[in-house]
Amino acid sequence: MNVHSADSGTSGELERVLHTGPFHLALRAAIEARGLALHRVRHRLALRGINVGVTSLSYWQQGARRPRRPESLSAVRALEDILELPAESLLRLLARTDDGIQDRPASRSYQTLFERSDVLRTLLAQLGSPLDGGLHTLDHWERVRIGACRELLSRSSQQAVRAHRDGVDRYLAIHHGDPGCAPERVRVRAGENCRVGRVRWSTSAQLVVTELLFDTRLRSGETYVFGYAFEDGTGGVSHEYVRGFSFGGGQYVLQVGFDAAQLPVRCRSFARTSAGARPSATQELTLRGESRTVHLVRHPAGPGILGIGWEWA
């Protein structure tokens, strides 16, 4: 996925999430906008006599936990000052009640995860499916293969999900190819516990959306395990692979493998709050020996975007 970053875009994203929420996305966007590492945020809180660990701050900005205790709410009030935010802006987001859907984790719209969200919305409408499919990920292992021509050959996934509403019987899998991808030639393979249903694509946006049909209807709170893969190989030179998460809280493991004839000179992992935001949490990755792979592990993952990028000689 190609993205374009700009300071004005980052500022606009912060302004938007301060208005719309949820809390954790607003906090994360504010920290990124000020260019502060979490240990610096913790230090500035400590100077005010407020002790909050880096782990807690990380959980707050990932949506894995919400500050609820009086001392935590005092820390949030101090964060508004440290991050130069309007008074009560974060506390107001915390005060909002949830939408009543059982066991639903922190979430965000697909609109912020895809540059061509308008096209994605159209494809989902053709399948008669809502943007929220009623599932959130508990565990996701994904393997990506890059070929000898530096192209994305395939990506396979094994997922464990939980339903947060009754009657869910399918998962919508989305594939975003690299520039030059021919979506009509991309093939979908169903693995265990699912089968391929309807498939829709957009050539202009290099998008493929497919239904993966379960063999049962899930009740709220029930879990399900399934696997699937996309076989591509139709696009141009690949420089990164990203995964967008509408819901947060689960574990994500991404492994990218390269052909022996074409190895990158540098690899890094990163996160983005949205498709238009600058990368954050960047970390250099080491290509592993004979396997010629790099990987990232995130828990909790999302909501937002996680990925691995690489540079060719």
Q: What is the pLDDT of residue 114?
A: 80
Q: What is the pLDDT of residue 102?
A: 38
Q: What is the pLDDT of residue 107?
A: 58
Mean pLDDT of 50-64: 86
Architecture of domain 110-311: Sandwich (2.60)
Mean of per-residue pLDDT scores for the chain: 87
Q: What is the pLDDT of residue 6?
A: 35
Give the Cα separation of 149 and 153 in Å (integer).
9
The alpha carbon dihedral of 3, 285, 297, 157 has a sign of positive
Record the tokens describing residue 15, joined without a space: 């302004």
Q: What is the pLDDT of residue 310?
A: 98
Separation of CA 130 from chain center: 18
Mean pLDDT of 70-86: 93
Binned at pLDDT 50, 70 and 90, residue 108 comes out as low
Q: What is the pLDDT of residue 99?
A: 39
**Does 110-311 match 7-95 at the fold level?**
no
Binned at pLDDT 50, 70 and 90, residue 118 comes out as confident
Q: Is the pLDDT of residue 15 over 90?
A: no
Residue 123: which H helix or E strand, with range? helix 117-126
Mean pLDDT of 98-114: 56
DSSP bridge pairs for 25: none
Q: Is the pLDDT of residue 146 over 50?
A: yes
Mean pLDDT of 6-12: 47
Residue type, 312: W
Q: What is the pLDDT of residue 250?
A: 84
The reported pTM is: 0.67
Domain ranges in the chain? 7-95, 110-311
Give the Cα separation of 297 and 269 in Å (integer).
10
Q: What is the pLDDT of residues 226-282, one digit of tens each?
A: 999 999 999 999 999 999 988 777 899 999 999 999 999 999 999 998 888 889 889
Q: What is the pLDDT of residues 160-192, one digit of tens each?
A: 998 887 789 999 999 999 999 999 999 999 999
Residue 124: which H helix or E strand, with range? helix 117-126
Binned at pLDDT 50, 70 and 90, residue 110 comes out as low
- Tell which residue, 38, 43, 19, has the closest CA to residue 28: 38
Give the Cα separation of 234 and 24 in Å (integer).
38
Mean pLDDT of 121-144: 85
Give the Cα separation of 93 and 17 in Å (integer).
10
Q: What is the pLDDT of residue 195?
A: 97
Binned at pLDDT 50, 70 and 90, residue 149 comes out as very high
Neighbours of 183 (CB within 10 A): 22
Q: Is the pLDDT of residue 100 over 50?
A: no
Binned at pLDDT 50, 70 and 90, residue 9 comes out as very low
Domain covering 7-95, topology: 434 Repressor (Amino-terminal Domain) (1.10.260)
Q: What is the pLDDT of residue 22?
A: 75
Q: Is the pLDDT of residue 197 over 80?
A: yes
Residue type, 181: C
- Tell which residue, 309, 247, 246, has the closest CA to residue 283: 309
pLDDT: is 137 or 157 the higher one? Answer: 157
Distant-in-sequence, close-in-space partners of 157: CB < 8 Å, separation ≥ 6 = 140, 141, 142, 143, 173, 227, 228, 229
Contact indicator for 268, 307 with CB cutoff of 8 Å:
no
Length of the chain: 313
